[in-house]
Amino acid sequence: MSKNPYNWIEKSLTTIHRANWYRSVQTIQSLPGSRIKLDGRSLVNFASNDYLGLAGDDRLIEAAIEATREFGTGSSGSRLLSGHRQLHRDLELAIAQLKQTEDALVFSSGYLANLGTISAIVGSRDLILSDEYNHSSLKNGAKLSGAETIAYRHLDLKDLEDKLNLNRDKYRRCAIVSDSIFSMNGDICQVKELIKLAEKFDCMAIVDEAHATGVMGETGAGCVEYFGCSGKELIQIGTLSKALGSLGGYVAGSRLLIDFLRNRAPSWIYTTALSPADTGSAKRAIEIVKSEPQRRDRLWNNVKILKQKLINYPLLPSQSPIVCLGLNNPALALDLADKLKSEGIFAPAIRPPTVPKSRIRFSIMATHQPEEIEQLATIIKRFYQTSKQEN
Ligand SMILES: *Cc1c(COP(=O)(O)O)cnc(C)c1O
């Protein structure tokens, strides 16, 4: 009898296909931006996290080239051994200044920042309270830490408080962990109330500002700034890869926290330092976030316009540039995504298991033109008219 221990892979893929859960990549053949070339066609892009339109900006490209010429393509080692450059430190100081924290630390990605930070600050004697819709990297960081993890209902701070009341005393340290803008919905966490609960129950608070940095708050520092919580002691995590148009992650907080992480976060210690190109372009992006608030104004104006146009359609609650249209099943979501694509709009269908309920997710950019938003709204309206007739 010859058994093949890899046979299960094909079976699993078949199951994924049957459930309409199958996913694959699509090749973009142009600079990132509000309009991209995909499969040879020009499409309006509502699938990008590049909220401010910086990932294709000449100034970031120049900064990346300059850093590459000066320091090479690779950092050639971990930060502690041989990979550290002044450029990394300059970027960390720029992040700390934007966030109004004592210090900051850059990781090779936001995912690694979350894994490394959470697993460093709590362990098996500790407790994590985690919003049920938190990003995968926060959930996996919690697993890696070995701490007891209890999920509370999405954005439900009453449920969080109940669970703290029931459980906090049984553990040594406790961390409350939440996305600030939830990436698959676009709704936002009440950061101020979350911090208050953390203070009341002697917990650390970790807020993941991945989608909020550059977008929320007067200076683009994120939801912590937006809710007037700058200067409070907490742990802010985020990415350089969304509104900042580069690649990498960061943690911002107290000098002691950052010093501790440099000594205890394995996903920072045992990995190669951020490349010079990514570091240089992220640093340039932070300067632009500060000096060009008009980009944020344009972004929020575009968000307002789209939400107004779709006011009679089943939008999920959102207070951010992520706007989702709820659909009853994955097949319908795929159908609408296909229709949008055939009419010149690129926006992803987000389906289980990523989210419980299928949806199309539109990410608005500062650089979208009014006609492009109009085009999107028109196609959606037509889709609902025809699907009503079919029923
Ligand atoms: C995108 C994202 C991350 C991961 O950041 P990367 O830099 O892309 O690895 C982490 N947390 C949240 C909430 C995100 O949306």
Among residues 272, 291, 310, the one where a domain terminates is: 291
Number of domains in the chain: 2
Q: Assess if residue 17 is contained within a domain.
A: no
Residue 63 belongs to a domain with what CATH number? 3.40.640.10
Q: Are residues 140 and 193 in the same domain?
A: yes
Q: Assess if residue 186 is contained within a domain.
A: yes
Which of 131, 135, 279 has most ligand 1 atoms within 8 Å of CB, for mutation?
Answer: 135
Torsion from C-alpha of 156, 96, 282, 301, nearest 10 degrees: 50
pLDDT digits (tens, 9 = 90+) for 189-225: 999 999 999 999 999 999 999 999 999 999 999 999 9
What is the distance of C-alpha 129 from the center of its chain? Answer: 19
pLDDT by residue for the chain (391 residues), tens only, comes to 678 999 999 999 999 999 888 888 889 999 999 999 998 999 999 999 999 999 999 999 999 999 999 999 999 999 999 999 999 999 999 999 999 999 999 999 999 999 999 999 999 999 999 999 999 999 999 999 999 999 999 999 999 999 999 999 999 999 999 999 999 999 999 999 999 999 999 999 999 999 999 999 999 999 999 999 999 999 999 999 999 999 999 999 999 999 999 999 999 999 999 999 999 999 999 999 999 999 999 999 999 999 999 999 999 999 999 999 999 999 999 999 999 999 999 999 999 888 899 999 999 999 999 999 999 999 999 999 987 655 4
pTM for this one? 0.95
Q: Are residues 220 and 148 in the same domain?
A: yes
Q: Are residues 49 and 73 in the same domain?
A: no
Euclidean distance between CA atoms 130 and 174, whole angstroms: 11
Helices and strands: H and E segment counts in the chain: 14, 13
Write down the pLDDT at residue 1: 62
Q: Write out the two tokens for 242.
A: 């969304």
Residue nearest to atom 5 of ligand 1 (CA): 110
Q: Are residues 118 and 202 in the same domain?
A: yes
Torsion from C-alpha of 303, 305, 311, 313, nearest 10 degrees: -70
Q: Assess if residue 188 is contained within a domain.
A: yes
Torsion from C-alpha of 104, 108, 110, 111, nearest 10 degrees: -130
Q: Are residues 142 and 255 in the same domain?
A: yes
Among residues 275, 291, 307, the one where a domain terminates is: 291
Residue nearest to atom 14 of ligand 1 (CA): 210
Q: Assess if residue 9 is contained within a domain.
A: no
Q: Are residues 331 and 253 in the same domain?
A: no
Euclidean distance between CA atoms 283 and 129, whole angstroms: 33
Whether the CB-CB separation of 195 and 228 falls below 8 Å is answered with no
Identify the domain containing residue 330 by its residue range.
22-54+293-387
Q: Are residues 117 and 231 in the same domain?
A: yes
Please name every residue paired with 44 in a beta bridge, in sequence order, or none if there are none.
Answer: 35, 345
Among residues 291, 314, 341, the one where a domain terminates is: 291
Q: Assess if residue 67 is contained within a domain.
A: yes
Write down the pLDDT at residue 391: 46
Which of 95, 183, 235 has most ligand 1 atoms within 8 Å of CB, for mutation?
Answer: 183
Q: Assess if residue 214 is contained within a domain.
A: yes
The residues lining ligand 1, judged by C-beta closer than 6 Å to any ligand atom, are 109-111, 114, 135, 137, 179, 183, 208, 210-211, 239, 241, 249
Cα 382 to middle of ligand 1, angstroms: 34
Q: Assess if residue 375 is contained within a domain.
A: yes
How many CB atoms are located within 10 Å of the residue 91 CB?
A: 27
Write down the pLDDT at residue 175: 98
Our CA angle for 198, 98, 96, nearest 5°, is 70
Q: Are residues 298 and 348 in the same domain?
A: yes
Cα 381 to middle of ligand 1, angstroms: 32
Residue 350 belongs to a domain with what CATH number? 3.90.1150.10
Q: Are residues 234 and 370 in the same domain?
A: no
Q: Are residues 284 and 300 in the same domain?
A: no
Q: Are residues 234 and 117 in the same domain?
A: yes
Q: Assess if residue 118 is contained within a domain.
A: yes
Q: Are residues 208 and 230 in the same domain?
A: yes
Three-state DSSP state, 342:
helix
Write down the pLDDT at residue 41: 94
